[in-house]
Chain A
Amino acid sequence: MPPFVHPSESTGTLSSRPEHSSESPLSIHAMTVAYQRKPVLWDVDYDAPPNKLIAIVGPNGAGKSTLIKASLGLIPRASGQVEFWGGSYKQSRARVGYVPQRESVDWDFPVSALDVVAMGRYRRIGWCRPVSRKHKDIALACLDHVGMRDLAHRQISQLSGGQQQRVFLARALAQEADLYFMDEPFAGVDAATERSIIKVLRELKENGKTVIVVHHDLQTVPTYFDEAILLNMRIVASGPVPEVFTEDNLQKTYGGRLTLLSEASEAVARASRGER
């Protein structure tokens, strides 16, 4: 299907980047995603620059989480390809870390904070083997890194929302990845957690990692992030924050100009359900 908005028109800085180079930790090409046959992301093209902190911003329902989940293959793509360092996800998944949305799990689950962080070590431990002392120590160090060592043996339901978020962050650290996806890590956290997360993000960057974060607070984007993806069912703009954070782009992202796109989505959904 022909894209509604030609990518090169909407993304500006994209064309200046090398396409699908093995330098780029994440290359998305012509990706469209649909939920129950209703398109929620249209024809996304994006190349993530290496060693940057990248924010995905956009209004509710813009497809921010969907962009992450579809890139990681958690939800099926209607079309398009995603490459990691120029290869398939399967080849590079040992280098990819993930922080899911906090609400996506049952926090009354019978595990301790340390148990959850140790899950980040599982792929290095491998099948059918218990978590050894060495991996437990690494998990503890990761908890320490987010200021949670004292709470390592707490059952996770006894942690505050911010502490739970830090447990998830520590688990991602335990994965020792090169590219991180984080889904709303700042959502509903206290000031101490926010500081802890931003400290970790900066350290990750210093160590040459790339972090892609779904973020909901426009105000903090310029201080926290190097790059931004403005998203509203398609990529409105992407690139260094000072370049893409223009009034025009924000208006395009958050303003009510996208009614045509969402109406088209509804039409596609109706047609595929066999309705008129």
Chain B
Amino acid sequence: MQSPGLSISEIVETLTFQSGFNTNVVILGTTLLGFASGIIGVFALLRKRALMTDALSHATLPGIAIAFLAAQSLGFQRRSIPILLIGATISGVIGIVCIQFILRHTRLREDTAIGIILSVFFGAGIVGLSYVQSNAPNNSAGLNAFIYGQAATMSSSDVILMGSIAVIAVLATLLLLKEFTLVCFNDSFAKVDGWPVSIVDLLMMALVVIVTVAGLQAVGLILVVAMLIIPPVSARFWTDRVWKLVLIAGLIGALSAYTGSVISALLPRKPAGAVIVLTSGVFFALSMFLAPSRGVIAASIRLLRIRLRIAGDHVLELSHDLNVSTIPNQAFDELSRIRGWSLPLRWLLLRALKHDDSVVRLSNDGLVLSAKGVARGHRVARNHMLWEQYLVSYADIAPSHVDWSVDQVEHVLSARLVARLEQELAKQGIDIPPATPMKPGGAG
């Protein structure tokens, strides 16, 4: 067997819908599905129904088996997709109703109820399928595709179906964004306000059912939940507004489905559904790390900045405590040891202090501070003292116990808070040190 060497032209052809009708059908169909499920998934996510969606898709399997048997007994010779999908819908909805029943009449929690129904229905489906396959082995080929998905079997009529579902998803969102958002955010308020919460919920659930059932063939019932959940969760990293969330989730869903199905078309025998889910996983990872304000990297940088600022405060405070404008290396080393600063952190810290113009240069004697650095050290030390005085005289905290909280607070006091502290302490007749630094003496 030859290794499948991929040429650039082959890749470009597939990406631009030029690699044959069947491939185009699959790519277009899954992209439309990805778009629709990304949009609908937003509301499943916001209504905290992610797991419920998984239960729904697993609960479709017995319906597929039963619908197949029913179609056969009605005289259909080949498997009829619409009948199978109707069966899938009915049993999926029965699964959801069972979960609601358990929740209403027992004290079980939702996750428990979902776990039970999901596995029992899936088990029933597997039993049903094996029964079908042992009784009608010739016609039942392809039923397994509903479990793992087989996008390659998509026909042009399926593309029309996916297209209509995408249109429905967009229309429903355009018309009902306000109502969906209200019910997802605060259903009790919505109810008091006179909105039929259960009907709105039913509409949202119906959209989820439609997308799920449509996705069964393409990605299979095990993975279809990923197409509903991963795009909105990834999108959430990039925005704080519902309508943008809908838009970005739709785009991520469409993009991962498109990329995934192109990759699977280029690499033979790689199932499209699984590749699509993996692609959306990549989008999720990228979003999680790279998103500007909610992303992990951005958050770590913010945290590091704060750490560096506080550490810088501590260093500059030394100049006040020692009354010098050049902090001896020895004192800096000692502080680093006490604070447990690692070498990389010390390096970053010195860079930050220089960048900040607090430190002019590093000489053999130590850290040479600028006037700005000296002033900052003085300010921090003064805040420390003010807060300490305040705690001792107002909060009845013993002087020996104030250090920890002072350590936290001195770096975050705003000018307004400092002014109020000054006022309070002045009322008590407590001496307040001047706001401008004393002339540093010593080895300056």
B195 CB contacts on chain A under 8 angstroms: 122-123
Let me know if A119 is at the binding interface, CB within 8 A.
Answer: yes
Let me know if A111 is at the binding interface, CB within 8 A.
Answer: yes
Instruction: Find the A residue at minimum CB distance from B245.
Output: A110
Q: Contact check, B240 vs A72: say whether CB atoms are below 8 A apart.
A: no
- Chain B contacts with A in 240-259, Cβ cutoff 8 A: 240-242, 245
Instruction: Find the B residue at minimum CB distance from A93.
Output: B194
Q: Is the interface of B mostly helix, strand, loop or mixed?
A: helix
Contact pick for A98, options B193, B240, B242, CB 8 Å: B193
Let me know if A116 is at the binding interface, CB within 8 A.
Answer: yes
Q: Contact check, B186 vs A100: say whether CB atoms are below 8 A apart.
A: yes
Query: Which one of A127-135, A139-147, A247-255 is at the interface?
Result: A127-135
Q: Report A73 CB to chain B, min CB distance, Å.
A: 7
Q: Contact check, A73 vs B178: say whether CB atoms are below 8 A apart.
A: no
Residues 190-206 of chain B, each 1 if its beta carbon lies under 8 Å from chain A, else 0:
01111100000000000
Q: Contact check, B240 vs A110: say whether CB atoms are below 8 A apart.
A: yes
- Chain A contacts with B in 81-126, Cβ cutoff 8 A: 93-94, 96, 98, 100, 104-106, 109-112, 115-116, 119-120, 122-123, 125
A1 CB contacts on chain B under 8 angstroms: none
Instruction: Find the A residue at minimum CB distance from B186.
Output: A105
Let me know if B175 is at the binding interface, CB within 8 A.
Answer: yes
Q: Contact check, B185 vs A109: say whether CB atoms are below 8 A apart.
A: yes
- Chain B contacts with A in 213-253, Cβ cutoff 8 A: 236, 239-242, 245
A115 CB contacts on chain B under 8 angstroms: 181, 241-242
Q: Contact check, B188 vs A128: say whether CB atoms are below 8 A apart.
A: no
A65 to B177, CA, bound (A): 30
- Asked if A100 meets B189 with Cβ closer than 8 Å, knowing A125-B178, A128-B175, the reply is yes
Q: Contact check, A123 vs B193: say whether CB atoms are below 8 A apart.
A: yes
Let me know if B50 is at the binding interface, CB within 8 A.
Answer: no
Let me know if B71 is at the binding interface, CB within 8 A.
Answer: no
- Asked if A119 meets B245 with Cβ closer than 8 Å, knowing A72-B192, A111-B181, A175-B193, the reply is no
B240 CB contacts on chain A under 8 angstroms: 110-112, 155
Let me know if A60 is at the binding interface, CB within 8 A.
Answer: no
Q: Report A16 CB to chain B, min CB distance, Å.
A: 30
B188 CB contacts on chain A under 8 angstroms: 69, 74, 98, 100, 104
Q: Contact check, A36 vs B107: say whether CB atoms are below 8 A apart.
A: yes
Q: Which of B176, B179, B189, B236 has most chain A Cβ within 10 Å?
A: B189
Q: Contact check, A73 vs B191: say whether CB atoms are below 8 A apart.
A: yes
Residues 42-61 of chain B, each 1 if its beta carbon lies under 8 Å from chain A, else 0:
00001010000000000000
A188 to B188, CA, bound (A): 21
Q: Contact check, A110 vs B236: say whether CB atoms are below 8 A apart.
A: yes
B191 CB contacts on chain A under 8 angstroms: 72-74
A125 to B181, CA, bound (A): 15
Q: Contact check, B185 vs A105: say whether CB atoms are below 8 A apart.
A: yes
Q: Contact check, B186 vs A96: say whether CB atoms are below 8 A apart.
A: no
Instruction: Find the A residue at minimum CB distance from B239.
Output: A110
Q: Report A79 CB to chain B, min CB distance, Å.
A: 20
- Asked if A109 meets B46 with Cβ closer than 8 Å, knowing A94-B194, A128-B176, A155-B240, the reply is yes
A171 to B182, CA, bound (A): 12
Let me know if B184 is at the binding interface, CB within 8 A.
Answer: yes
- Chain B contacts with A in 41-88, Cβ cutoff 8 A: 46, 48
Q: Report A182 CB to chain B, min CB distance, Å.
A: 12
12 A-B residue pairings within 8 Å (CB atoms): A74-B191, A100-B186, A104-B188, A109-B185, A111-B181, A115-B181, A119-B186, A122-B182, A128-B175, A128-B176, A130-B178, A171-B189
- In the A-B complex, the 8 residue pairs with the smallest Cβ-Cβ separation, listed nearest first, are A155-B240, A98-B192, A128-B175, A93-B194, A105-B186, A110-B240, A109-B185, A72-B192
Given contacts A74-B192, A110-B236, A175-B193, 14 further A-B pairs with CB under 8 A are: A36-B107, A69-B188, A74-B191, A100-B188, A104-B186, A111-B181, A111-B185, A111-B242, A122-B179, A123-B195, A125-B178, A127-B176, A128-B175, A155-B240
